[in-house]
Structure 1
């Protein structure tokens, strides 16, 4: 059975995509800790960090860095945080979020009731920052599709 992320990547479930390439996508989470909180997800179903081939893991980290730089630019955050947990969905994903202090590193602060309009606005802001930084080739033409 496909994972939740595979179903989102395949378009069965909506997502707010900000990045897409042949190995990975990045999309906004529906339960952000901070505004702009994104997930970098391999297209290939890999259960957890330690199962990933080194070259794919290096690529995911590179995408996370690029997204983090765009988040810092878009929201003026002093840091971009990277968290890997993966207990909720058995498909590797890296949490990348703009961070101002260590309280931004706790899933206990995730906002479960974020309005869709606010998530859409954050996705558009991050997509714009990625384009401004020269990564437009990896920003999907349609926010709801991971196709370029």
Structure 2
């Protein structure tokens, strides 16, 4: 059965899309640690980051860096944290989390923006990618 991320990539589940290229896809996390929390995933469903071949790994990291720069430029934050945990969904994903405090990186504190905030946030980040 396809992971929720594969279903998002395939358009079966809606998302707040940020960017995509031939091999990767980025969208806002719907249960974010902070406003602008973005997930970058390879389009090919692979469970663990260590299971990616070297080219796919480098492609995902290059793509994630490009998206992170746009997040950093569009969100009020001290920096963007990168983390790969991947226990919730068996599909490699890089969390890009706008950080102002260490608590923003712990996954213990969540924010609950409404659809208008998600849309505005996605638009701001996409604008920095142009």
- Give unmatched runs, 5+ long, in structure 1: 132-148
- The residue that corresponds to 1:124 in the other structure is 123
Secondary structure of residue in 2 paired with 1:80: strand
Structure 2: unaligned runs, 5 residues or longer: none
- The alignment's TM-score, normalised by the length of structure 1, stands at 0.83
Distance 1:37 1:43 in 2: 19
State the 1:121 CA deviation.
1.0
Give me the TM-score of the superposition, normalised by structure 2. 0.94
Task: Give the aligned length.
Answer: 130
Correspondence for 1:114: 113
Distance in 2 (CA, whole Å) between partners of 1:44 and 1:37 is 22
Alignment of 1:4-23 (within 5 A): 4-23=4-23
**SS in structure 2 at match of 1:108:** coil
For each residue in 1:74-101, what CA deviation from the matched residue of structure 2 results, as whole angstroms up to 9, or x when unmatched?
A: 1242211001111111011000122122
Deviations 1:4-35 (A, max 9, x none): 01111111100111111110000001011111
Runs of 4+ with >3 A deviation:
none
SS of the residue aligned with 2:108? Answer: helix
